[in-house]
Each structure stands twice: as C-alpha cells, then as structure tokens.
C-alpha cells in the first residue's frame, strides 16, 4: 500500500479522533496524522500549509466530520471552496460522519471537493478502499 505524507482529521469528538488516528497509524498509512477539532482550526492549518509553512505540511487526505461545535463541516466546505485549484489539487477530501441523514448526504452533493462519505469511525476495509481508489 502506498504511503501518504500527511493526513488531517477534522472532528470535535476525541474518541473518534483517537480511534481513527490509531487505525491509520497501525496501518502505516502516513507518518504524520494531524488532528484539529473544528472547521476554523482546519482552515487556519490549511492556510499555513498552502502558504508553504514548514511546520504545516500539505495534507494528502482530509477527513471532515459534518456535525461539529464551532464551524461545522458544511461551513468549512463552503470556505474550502475559496482555495484555488492549485492549492487543493493534490488533496483528497472525504467526509467522515455519524450522520446518515438524507438531508446531509444530499447537501454533500453541493461540494464537488468531497469525493465520498464514510461512517465513523473508520474501519480497515474503508482505509484499504480509500488508498486503492484515490492513491
């Protein structure tokens, strides 16, 4: 399996972050897994990453939760669309959510940067599928 450099987890649930980070580390998907707890923190991180700050590597893969305190996943995606295609071109964006709401899944279609959604927490089969399909 190909290795990524950096994965960004955007979720306000500590347990989910722990489980996902542990699975991704155990599967040796990426040596650098960053965690932020809302959309605002994610945007701050990406602004620095896309500007070339050394301590903020550009993520190869971003997992975003829909329902978060502060700036939620949809608000984050609305702001993410403002980045240029060159900035976000090499980054795969996936939603990772416990929401199975028809409304939420339909609304995701408004955001072309989101390739697919997965239920949280991630499973090994999900990670293998993601790596095979997008990398």
Domain contains 1:
no
For 61, counting Cβ atoms within 10 Å of its Cβ (0-12 exposed, 13-18 middle, 19+ buried), the class is buried
Residue-wise pLDDT for 71-95, tens only, equals 999 999 999 999 999 999 889 999 9
Domain tally for the chain? 1
Domain contains 122:
yes
Confidence of residue 2 (pLDDT cuts 50, 70, 90): confident
Domain contains 6:
no
Per-residue pLDDT at 105: 84
pTM to 2 decimal places: 0.95
Per-residue pLDDT at 6: 98
Nearby residues of 36 by Cβ (< 8 Å), 6 or more positions away: 8, 9, 10, 42, 44, 45
Full residue range of the structural domain in which residue 97 is found: 11-134
Per-residue pLDDT at 73: 94
Confidence of residue 101 (pLDDT cuts 50, 70, 90): confident
Provide, rounded to the nearest whole percent, the portion of the chain with pLDDT above 70: 99
**What CATH number does residue 103 fall under?**
3.40.50.2300
Residue-wise pLDDT for 8-48, tens only, equals 999 999 999 999 999 999 999 999 999 999 999 999 999 99
Q: Does position 97 have pLDDT exceeding 90, yes or no?
A: no
Residue 97 sits at φ, ψ, to 5 deg, of: -145, 155
Residue-wise pLDDT for 49-65, tens only, equals 999 999 999 999 999 99
Domain contains 2:
no
Q: Does position 1 have pLDDT exceeding 80, yes or no?
A: no
């Amino acid at each position: 399996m190909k290795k990524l450099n950096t994965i960004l987890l955007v979720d306000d649930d500590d347990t989910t972050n722990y489980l996902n980070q542990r699975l991704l580390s155990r599967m040796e998907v990426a040596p650098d897994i960053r965690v932020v707890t809302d959309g605002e923190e994610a945007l701050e991180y990406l602004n620095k990453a896309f500007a070339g700050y050394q301590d903020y590597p550009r993520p190869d893969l971003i997992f975003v939760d829909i329902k978060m305190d502060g700036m939620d996943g949809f608000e984050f995606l609305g702001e993410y669309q403002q980045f240029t295609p060159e900035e976000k071109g090499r980054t795969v964006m996936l939603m990772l959510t416990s929401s199975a709401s028809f409304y939420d899944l339909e609304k995701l279609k408004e955001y072309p940067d989101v390739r697919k959604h997965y239920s949280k927490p991630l499973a090994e089969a999900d990670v293998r599928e993601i790596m095979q399909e997008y990398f």
